[in-house]
Amino acid sequence: MNYTISEIAVIIKAEDYKFPEKEVSVILTDSRSLTFPEETLFFALVTERNNAHRYIYDLYRKGVRHFVISDNIANKDKMPDANFLKVPDTLAALQQLATAHRNRFDIPVIGVTGSNGKTIVKEWLYQLLHEDYNMVRSPRSYNSQIGVPLSIWQMNESTELAVIEAGISQPGEMDKLEAIIKPTVGIITNIGGAHQEGFASMQEKSLEKLTLFKDSDCIIYNGDSALISDTVEKMCLGTREIAWSYKDKNGPLYIIKVTKEDENTRIRYSYLQYEGEFAIPFVGDAAVENAIHCLAVMLYLGKGPNEITKKMAKLEPVAMRLEVKEGRNNCLVINDTYNSDINSLEIALDFQVRRATAGMRRTLILSDILQSGMLPATLYRKVSQILMHKGVDRLIGIGPEISACEKSFGMDAEFYLTTDSFLNSGAAERFNNELILIKGSRDFHFEQISEALELKQHETILEVNLDALIDNFNFYRQKLKPETKIICMVKAFGYGAGSYEVAKSLQDRGCDYLAVAVADEGAELRKAGITMPIMVMNPEMNSFRTLFGYSLEPEIYSFKLLKAFSKEAEQLGIMHYPVHIKIDSGMHRLGFTFEDMPLLVNELSAMPSIRARSVFSHFAGSDETRFDDFSLRQIAIFKDCARIIQNVTPFPVMRHILNTAGISRFTDEQMEGVRLGLGLYGISPIGNEPGLRNVSTLKTTILQIKELDADQTVGYSRKGVLSRKSRIAALPIGYADGVDRHLGNGKGYVIINGRQAPYVGNICMDVCMVDVTDIDCQEGDKVEIFGDQLSVCVLAKWLDTIPYEILTSVSSRVKRVYYRE
């Protein structure tokens, strides 16, 4: 839907705009996601760490002409035909516009909130209802103060039903979302511990979440939850309640019986005096609850029992994450079949753009986009425009509708009527050095394409959660002043997680510097397309040409290295090359001492070829309170050294001594920069810090299960002696993959189906064995070596080592799978 600038200005109470009759249809809050500049209105949001006003001139040069601002604008005189709508608060203005947009629609709007299951319920409702309604739903997890307005903005003249997800982390947030969403039907899935740090009690959180439904016609919830039931009663909502229950036979929706079978669950229910039954192809308790919430919505909307039974049986798993996997023939495969609509396509293409590397062709495999509410010709013309704006090099279209519109695509493209015809054509064998985004509607079963393109390796993988990585980055960033620079450590292959994907994610999120151990690590990042500054912590004498060739900034820790590097720079005619001066303030590993300062500043003053970009030092024990006096002495020595260097340097010199532990424990000493290492990967060196998330999960599968009698032995040297009749599972992972040999013989365990399975016998090179006698499992089941259920810190404690060693020991032969939630 289009709005004129004058209409928007009235809604958000803006000032200083011109060209009032110009129209916009696209709302943009992330400058990197620009698609249709001429139709875009950019909201320059201001956060604790970022001010989007800085991106306005760049967007103007790319064709954007309409901006909502709250600050004064640099280069304003260079943007004569720009519309600047000035408001006190750009986020509030975005929410006001979304609220006004929502008020234009008199349709059912389902609001979904809760601690877990929101996204599953939202997606299942789409699966169940999209054939009956032209639907809009929140893309991915767009449930925040920014995400909800963007979700609402998708509603247009053809929308008949909307499902909007809402999430909060602080008191007072839900009132704002309620005004935007105005749900006619509300679902609260559950109340759990997520984001509890923002609330004084679980009841306070429950009250906050239920605020979303204060004016709804109906609210759906688990009536057996005492917390939710009590909160609903206290709020006196005055709305119709569908409080489903396993216990209350007189309630509106009584769940008579739940029967779990091998691969599905049968649910019998009673609703307003009649009974029904359906089956879902899932057996987990969470899936059953999610399905009952969806059942209540369908009943409320008047769907009959036969229709419900038919559609529930077709529910499919929701791919909760966007995965990046290594493909065949030097390809990377981005698998995103989570949503298939034009909005989610743009989101996925943005992700592809940010993962692109020099020389790698960008390819999109796209199915028909179903139930778009647009005529196919109009839809695929718009898709074609999006692909051109996003720089897609090649399209492979699959489906009768997109194939019929092939003339809409003025690019390298080929089309197939079905997934099978594509796979049978041999086209999957011809991909080479391509970044391939797979985006398909469920009906097309694009998982077959992903399987065909993926590089086959053994079944042990390291899953890396890129969203958790960014959450951890933001966790520490919020402790710092906005102007403090963050240097993120991606040495040692990104602490085992894979330096390129980690670096790419950090570059996207505004990290200031990366740090690697040696020059070759930095060079590989440059080759992969990383453009941000990179510090090399341990440069070698034979690496100078690599440093210069790839614009890598070395740490300088000795006079020998200083003179050699300066001499090389002079011979190449280089002036003011940035270097980072290492101070030994008490660690006594590498660096210049306080006594070295007179000679050091004389040398630096006489070396025009180099420039001290930063001066830094390293704590010996910032993670332990018993060393605090020593740490404070280190800080004092470091400051004295840094002051001496700055006094003879005409340029500002960045100071940084805080590591991850220091950021939390000595925050006031952040100076101009900090170095973030282990905490970035979800591990606090000072103990539990609520809010950090695990990033890396090492997984494998059960290869084989054997039934063995008591007194038999397992493994080399017959070390695994059985004391009872046992079931022993062999796992395709060993010490060559990163499982320490000292974990054998019952010293540790793995997690299988939520249960602990102890190691039996010695760890072998490629295989290890665990006892699964008391665990309901079978061959092919997933096994967690460490991760969300078994912290790497626990393994480190078993082995009397540190988490760094566990993470960096994961072999390069273990496939890394990167994903976003």
Rounded distance between C-alpha atoms, residue 611 and residue 580, angstroms: 9
Residue 194 clears pLDDT 70, i.e. is over it: no
Residue 458 clears pLDDT 70, i.e. is over it: no
Residue 495 is encoded by which pair of tokens? 């602490």
DSSP H/E element including 783: strand 782-786
Q: What is the pTM of this model?
A: 0.73
Q: Which fold has domain 105-312?
A: UDP-N-acetylmuramoyl-L-alanine:D-glutamate ligase (3.40.1190)
Range name among 191-195, 208-212, 309-313, 445-449 with the lowest pLDDT average? 191-195
CB 779, CB 768: distance < 8 Å: no
Q: What percent of the chain has pLDDT over 90?
A: 74
Mean pLDDT, the chain, rounded, equals 92
Predicted local confidence at residue 528, as pLDDT: 82
Predicted local confidence at residue 91, as pLDDT: 97
Rounded distance between C-alpha atoms, residue 468 and residue 206, angstroms: 25
Identify the CATH class of 3-95: alpha beta
Mean pLDDT in residue range 673-700: 92
CA distances from 487 to 241, 403, 674 (A): 52, 48, 6
Q: Tens digits of per-residue pLDDT, 68-121? A: 999 988 888 899 999 999 999 999 999 999 999 999 999 999 999 998 889 999
CB 22, CB 41: distance < 8 Å: no
The DSSP-derived string for 538-585 is: S--GGGHHHHHHTT-EEEE-SHHHHHHHHHHHHHTT--SEEEEEEE-S
Is 489 a known ligand-binding residue?
A: no
Q: What is the CATH number of domain 696-820?
A: 2.40.37.10
Residue 702 clears pLDDT 70, i.e. is over it: yes
Tell me the range of 18-22, 284-288, 303-307, 344-348 where mean pLDDT is highest: 303-307
Q: Tens digits of per-residue pLDDT, 720-733? A: 999 999 999 999 99
Residue 199 clears pLDDT 80, i.e. is over it: no
- Pairing mode, strands 135-137 and 755-760: unpaired
Residue 635 clears pLDDT 90, i.e. is over it: yes
- Pairing mode, strands 654-656 and 696-701: unpaired
Residue 588 clears pLDDT 90, i.e. is over it: yes
All structural domains of the chain with their residue ranges: 3-95, 105-312, 322-456, 463-681, 696-820
Give the other-Cβ count within 10 Å of 725's Cβ.
12
Mean pLDDT in residue range 642-663: 95
Range name among 297-301, 491-495, 584-588 with the lowest pLDDT average? 491-495
Higher pLDDT, 383 or 815: 383
Residue 556 clears pLDDT 90, i.e. is over it: yes
Rounded distance between C-alpha atoms, residue 713 and residue 145, angstroms: 59
- Pairing mode, strands 577-583 and 713-714: unpaired
Predicted local confidence at residue 326, as pLDDT: 84
Q: pLDDT band at 315, cuts 50/70/90?
A: very high
Residue 565 clears pLDDT 60, i.e. is over it: yes
Higher pLDDT, 195 or 595: 595
Q: Tens digits of per-residue pLDDT, 520-543? A: 999 989 988 888 999 999 999 999
Predicted local confidence at residue 120, as pLDDT: 92
Predicted local confidence at residue 794, as pLDDT: 94
Higher pLDDT, 49 or 659: 659
Predicted local confidence at residue 196, as pLDDT: 61
Predicted local confidence at residue 407, as pLDDT: 93
Q: Tens digits of per-residue pLDDT, 326-335? A: 888 889 999 8
Q: pLDDT band at 696, cuts 50/70/90?
A: very high
Rounded distance between C-alpha atoms, residue 585 and residue 669, angstroms: 15
Q: pLDDT band at 140, cuts 50/70/90?
A: confident
Q: pLDDT band at 318, cuts 50/70/90?
A: confident
Mean pLDDT in residue range 435-452: 89
Q: pLDDT band at 374, cuts 50/70/90?
A: confident
Higher pLDDT, 250 or 594: 594
Predicted local confidence at residue 197, as pLDDT: 62
Give the other-Cβ count within 10 Å of 710's Cβ.
10
Residue 347 clears pLDDT 60, i.e. is over it: yes
Across the beta sheet with 26-28, the strand order is 26-28, 40-43, 66-69, 83-86
Rounded distance between C-alpha atoms, residue 795 and residue 555, angstroms: 33
Predicted local confidence at residue 684, as pLDDT: 92
Mean pLDDT in residue range 50-79: 92
Q: What percent of the chain has pLDDT over 70?
A: 98
Q: Domain 463-681 is classified in which CATH homologous superfamily?
A: Alanine racemase (3.20.20.10)
Predicted local confidence at residue 339, as pLDDT: 61
Range name among 140-149, 292-301, 694-703 with the lowest pLDDT average? 140-149
Q: Which residues is 397 bridged to in the sheet?
A: 366, 415
Q: pLDDT band at 368, cuts 50/70/90?
A: very high
Give the distance, in angstroms, between the CA of residue 738 and the centroid of all CA atoms in the same chain: 25
- Amino acid residing at 460: T
Predicted local confidence at residue 75, as pLDDT: 85
Q: Any idea which residues carry the catalytic annotation? A: 491, 716
Residue 763 clears pLDDT 90, i.e. is over it: yes
Mean pLDDT in residue range 18-33: 91
The DSSP-derived string for 485-505 is: EEEEE-HHHHHTT-HHHHHHH
Residue 195 clears pLDDT 60, i.e. is over it: no
Residue 738 clears pLDDT 80, i.e. is over it: yes
Rounded distance between C-alpha atoms, residue 9 and residue 3, angstroms: 10
Is 589 a known ligand-binding residue?
A: yes
Q: Which residues is 23 bridged to in the sheet?
A: 4
Q: pLDDT band at 813, cuts 50/70/90?
A: confident
Q: Which fold has domain 322-456?
A: Protein-Tyrosine Phosphatase; Chain A (3.90.190)
Residue 230 is encoded by which pair of tokens? 């009590």
Q: Tens digits of per-residue pLDDT, 249-284? A: 989 999 999 999 888 999 999 998 789 999 999 988
